[in-house]
Chain A
Amino acid sequence: MAFDKMELRDIEVWDGNHAAAQALRQCQVDVICAYPITPSTPIVEGYAQFKADNYIEGEYVLVESEHAAMSGCIGASAAGGRVATATSSQGLALMVETLYQAAGMRLPIILNIVNRALAAPLNVNGDHSDMYLCRDSGWIQFDAFSPQEAYDLNMIAFRVSEDHDVRIPSIINQDGFLTSHTAQGVHTITDDVVYNFVGTFKPMNDMLDFEHPVTHGVQTEEDWHFEHKARQHNDMMTVVPDKIENAFSDFEKLTGRKYNKVECYDMDGADIAIVCMGTSVETVREVVSEMRKDGLKVGVVGLRVVRPFPFAEIGDTLKDIKAVAALDRSAPGGAAGMLFNEISGSLFNTDSKMLLSGFIYGLGGRDLTKANIRDLYKELQANVDAGKVLTKQQQFIGVRGPKLAYL
């Protein structure tokens, strides 16, 4: 039975979960192995409804855990076809072993992570602990700040990952609840145009080519393991950035929507800036617009591509900025936050005189208020005026009790 196409209005009111599920449907994924977990469950449910209503031709395998979900995805991908899934938080934590295996086996799987805190204490709300947990797993990582972006980035991710010069899996992050369950207007693309953009999957080293048997997932010890890992890192650093750029560019030609590895807002002529991810980018943009009206030279940088980290673009964007706040939404566990570290790495050993301070915020879904952000900019301005960072380098914001500051 042939599957049905879906008629969409030019603008649909979708939350991030539904936007992701629609994108997976439109990309005509061959196999999805999935297991539900809050707050990504509606992706799994939405896709199930598409399947029940004959909008899906591919296989949909409801497995018994997230580890099995990614295990099944790996087997399916190695067999030779388009593969995707979705998860969050504890599910991702259970899946981590297989994330490294998927990347190491160069299988172009797409994973939607609806970001949520990691227990303990148990918490279903959004922070970036799960994103950070797998940041060194060898996957390309995109970050969506809105349902529209969750929709678009899925298509872009398939284009990048499935490129035969890349063959590295991709994660698309979106904030739990704030993006995943908040409905917004989403500009849609028709089914045919989406499928044409991602193209029919082109297999490589596929297990189902019986004329060319292939061995996947071999053992390498000290003799070859390092070369495999080094080569993969090399491709991440030298091949993937351009492929992402090309996909962004092709997507812009198709839709008019322009994506950048580093999303700048009011950064022209800015003296001070905040760097952050997820829905916080949109909140900070609002504050920036208000503060700009008061003549304050403030800007915000949203990180669109988390891995491979856009060192050159971040360095270029921030080199003349006088003070920068790096906002990390993940418990740092006895170190500086990831963004603080990567921004430092981008500008260390350069002529930049940037004053960098790090902030831990929003754990377990704690709100980042506009008042928090205004205070933060005031603090950055005070640092600029003093010519040095007046506080400790790492502070917690929005947490009860006495002010926490370290480093």
Chain B
Amino acid sequence: MSEIKKIKNLKDFSTSADRFEGANVLCPGCAHSIIVREILNATNDDLVLSASTGCLEVCTAVYPYTSWDASWIHIGFENCSTSIAGAESMYNALKTKGRLKQPDRNPKFIAFGGDGASYDIGLQWISGCMERNHNMMYVVLDNEVYANTGGQRSSSTPLGGSNTTTPAGTISYGEKQNKKDLMGIMAAHNIPYAAQVSPNKWKDLVKKVQKGFATEGAVFINAVSACTTEWKFEPKDTMLLSDLSTDSLVFPLYEVIDGRELNITYRPKNVVPVEEYLAAQGRFKHLFRDEYKHLIKEWQTRVDENWDYLNRREAARV
């Protein structure tokens, strides 16, 4: 069993065990790189990483360059979960057979997929990995849109967002469906640990990721990743948007242990109205037209109901 890394302060944390290089071509202000660095820096152990096709992949491994100072694999859009499960299986096989080159290490196996790769096309593969309980961590970089290909809707795209395949128009307010509850689906696999995180609450994130690393078995992490390009806000405001997403409770931070025990890990002192979260993003601009204002009310009701549900789940201890 490896030791849990001690994190003293943000400055120390942000520069330690730096295995994801700043030399990448992600958009300025992209939250992906912040989340990935926070997760990787949460441990000093060796890493075996995978990524699905998407922003993170195309921006960090363009031949002959790589941004990864740790073993990394990409196969396709839907299967970063299974590729890392395969690598983890090989680790177990070589351990049994006594053929590991460095048998004294405690590698962590982490897969990164966007919401398109996770909520949509790769759902079956992730489900298989969670069901088989591989000793791995699956991380969704959830920016609620197919950002890499120019902003098409996914099943993570929330109600009323204007996207290239569900654009707002003269007779449409954009996306008609509510966001899929992937946390609920993954927790229903009764995996040892599932958690929702956000890069602005980095201490909460590190605590959860370290808990995940210390867990034997499958871990699912859903990370909100504010997308400057598709959510349409200034690159300098990534952390502001992250704050709005957690403090409006649009993106509540909680964990589910063994599929049952739910703990809310962050309770904002001052809850921000959902309207403020929506108003900060170009993708929801049209909702402020008179004919669509009822949707803002609907948003607030849904967020309140979800928060209420999480609180009841937490209180019930089931």
Q: Does A64 contact B (CB under 8 A)?
A: yes
Pick from A30, A206, A210: contact of B46, CB below 8 A.
Answer: A210
Q: Mark A18-34, 1 if CB is under 8 A from B, else 0.
A: 00000000000011010
Whether A31 and B93, one on each chain, are in contact in the complex, defined by CB atoms closer than 8 angstroms, is: yes
In the complex, which residues of chain B have a beta carbon less than 8 angstroms from the beta carbon of A389?
Answer: none
Whether A59 and B107, one on each chain, are in contact in the complex, defined by CB atoms closer than 8 angstroms, is: no
Whether B71 and A213, one on each chain, are in contact in the complex, defined by CB atoms closer than 8 angstroms, is: yes
In the complex, which residues of chain B have a beta carbon less than 8 angstroms from the beta carbon of A209?
Answer: 71, 101-102
Complex Cα distance, B81 from A68, in Å, reads 9
Question: A-B contact count, CB below 8 Å?
Answer: 170
Whether B69 and A72, one on each chain, are in contact in the complex, defined by CB atoms closer than 8 angstroms, is: no
Q: Does A101 contact B (CB under 8 A)?
A: yes
Q: Which of A169-218 contact B (CB under 8 A)?
A: 200, 203, 206-211, 213-218
Complex Cα distance, B37 from A38, in Å, reads 45
Pick from A74, A81, A219: contact of B94, CB below 8 A.
Answer: A81
Complex Cα distance, B68 from A76, in Å, reads 19
Complex Cα distance, B91 from A62, in Å, reads 17
User: In this complex, what residue of A is CB-closest to B62?
Assistant: A219
Whether A31 and B128, one on each chain, are in contact in the complex, defined by CB atoms closer than 8 angstroms, is: no
User: In this complex, what residue of A is CB-closest to B82?
Assistant: A71
Contact A80/B72 with A208-B100, A219-B58 known, Cβ cut-off 8 Å: no
Whether B83 and A75, one on each chain, are in contact in the complex, defined by CB atoms closer than 8 angstroms, is: yes
Whether B86 and A61, one on each chain, are in contact in the complex, defined by CB atoms closer than 8 angstroms, is: yes
Q: Does A330 contact B (CB under 8 A)?
A: no
Q: Mark B60-93, 1 if CB is under 8 A from A, else 0.
A: 0111101011111111101100111111011111
Whether B74 and A72, one on each chain, are in contact in the complex, defined by CB atoms closer than 8 angstroms, is: no
Q: Does A13 contact B (CB under 8 A)?
A: no
Nearest Cβ in chain A — how far from B226, in angstroms? 24
Contact A81/B90 with A61-B132, A67-B78 known, Cβ cut-off 8 Å: yes
Pick from B78, B101, B124: contact of A208, CB below 8 A.
Answer: B101
Contact-residue bracket for chain B? 35 or more
Pick from B61, B90, B124: contact of A80, CB below 8 A.
Answer: B90
In the complex, which residues of chain B have a beta carbon less than 8 angstroms from the beta carbon of A200?
Answer: 99
Contact-residue bracket for chain A? 35 or more
In the complex, which residues of chain B have a beta carbon less than 8 angstroms from the beta carbon of A203?
Answer: 101
Pick from B48, B61, B72, B86: contact of A73, CB below 8 A.
Answer: B86
User: In this complex, what residue of A is CB-closest to B59?
Assistant: A219
Whether A75 and B72, one on each chain, are in contact in the complex, defined by CB atoms closer than 8 angstroms, is: no
Complex Cα distance, B58 from A58, in Å, reads 34
Q: Does B115 contact A (CB under 8 A)?
A: no
Complex Cα distance, B58 from A209, in Å, reads 24
In the complex, which residues of chain B have a beta carbon less than 8 angstroms from the beta carbon of A61?
Answer: 85-86, 89, 132
In the complex, which residues of chain A have a beta carbon less than 8 angstroms from the beta carbon of B82?
Answer: 33, 63, 68, 71-72, 75
Whether A207 and B63, one on each chain, are in contact in the complex, defined by CB atoms closer than 8 angstroms, is: no
In the complex, which residues of chain A have a beta carbon less than 8 angstroms from the beta carbon of B66?
Answer: 215, 218
In the complex, which residues of chain B have a beta carbon less than 8 angstroms from the beta carbon of A76?
Answer: 86-87, 89-90, 93
Q: Does B50 contact A (CB under 8 A)?
A: yes
Contact A64/B124 with A71-B75, A74-B75 known, Cβ cut-off 8 Å: yes
Q: Does B289 contact A (CB under 8 A)?
A: no
Whether B71 and A210, one on each chain, are in contact in the complex, defined by CB atoms closer than 8 angstroms, is: yes
Whether A72 and B85, one on each chain, are in contact in the complex, defined by CB atoms closer than 8 angstroms, is: yes
Pick from A57, A65, A214, A219: contact of B96, CB below 8 A.
Answer: A57
Whether B73 and A57, one on each chain, are in contact in the complex, defined by CB atoms closer than 8 angstroms, is: no
Q: Does A98 contact B (CB under 8 A)?
A: yes
In the complex, which residues of chain B have a beta carbon less than 8 angstroms from the beta carbon of A214?
Answer: 71-72
Complex Cα distance, B156 from A122, in Å, reads 35
Whether A216 and B74, one on each chain, are in contact in the complex, defined by CB atoms closer than 8 angstroms, is: yes
Q: Does B11 contact A (CB under 8 A)?
A: no
Contact A208/B86 with A74-B75, A78-B73, A224-B64 known, Cβ cut-off 8 Å: no
Nearest Cβ in chain B — how far from A88, in angstroms? 20
User: In this complex, what residue of B is CB-closest to A64?
Assistant: B128
User: In this complex, what residue of B is CB-closest to A69?
Assistant: B82
Q: Which of A30-83 contact B (CB under 8 A)?
A: 30-31, 33, 57-59, 61-65, 67-68, 71-81, 83
Q: Does B144 contact A (CB under 8 A)?
A: no
Complex Cα distance, B132 from A68, in Å, reads 13
Whether B105 and A210, one on each chain, are in contact in the complex, defined by CB atoms closer than 8 angstroms, is: yes
Whether A218 and B91, one on each chain, are in contact in the complex, defined by CB atoms closer than 8 angstroms, is: no
Complex Cα distance, B83 from A75, in Å, reads 4
Pick from B62, B96, B128: contact of A63, CB below 8 A.
Answer: B128
Nearest Cβ in chain B — how far from A327, in angstroms? 35
Q: Does B307 contact A (CB under 8 A)?
A: no
In the complex, which residues of chain A have a beta carbon less than 8 angstroms from the beta carbon of B73?
Answer: 74-75, 78, 207, 215-217
In the complex, which residues of chain A have a beta carbon less than 8 angstroms from the beta carbon of B76?
Answer: 71, 97-98, 101
User: In this complex, what residue of B is CB-closest to A73?
Assistant: B86
Whether B93 and A81, one on each chain, are in contact in the complex, defined by CB atoms closer than 8 angstroms, is: yes
Q: Does B57 contact A (CB under 8 A)?
A: yes
Q: Does A220 contact B (CB under 8 A)?
A: yes
Which has the most chain B C-beta neighbours within 10 Å: A71, A74, A98, A218?
A: A71
Besides the known contacts A58-B96, A76-B93, 20 further A-B residue pairs in the complex with CB atoms under 8 A apart:
A59-B90, A68-B82, A68-B125, A71-B86, A71-B125, A72-B82, A72-B86, A74-B75, A74-B83, A79-B48, A101-B76, A207-B87, A208-B48, A210-B105, A214-B71, A215-B71, A216-B73, A217-B61, A218-B63, A219-B57
8 intermolecular pairs with C-beta atoms under 8 Å apart: A30-B93, A61-B85, A72-B82, A75-B73, A75-B85, A208-B101, A211-B102, A218-B61
Q: 8 closest Cβ contacts across the A-B interface?
A: A75-B86, A75-B83, A79-B90, A207-B71, A72-B86, A71-B79, A217-B74, A64-B128
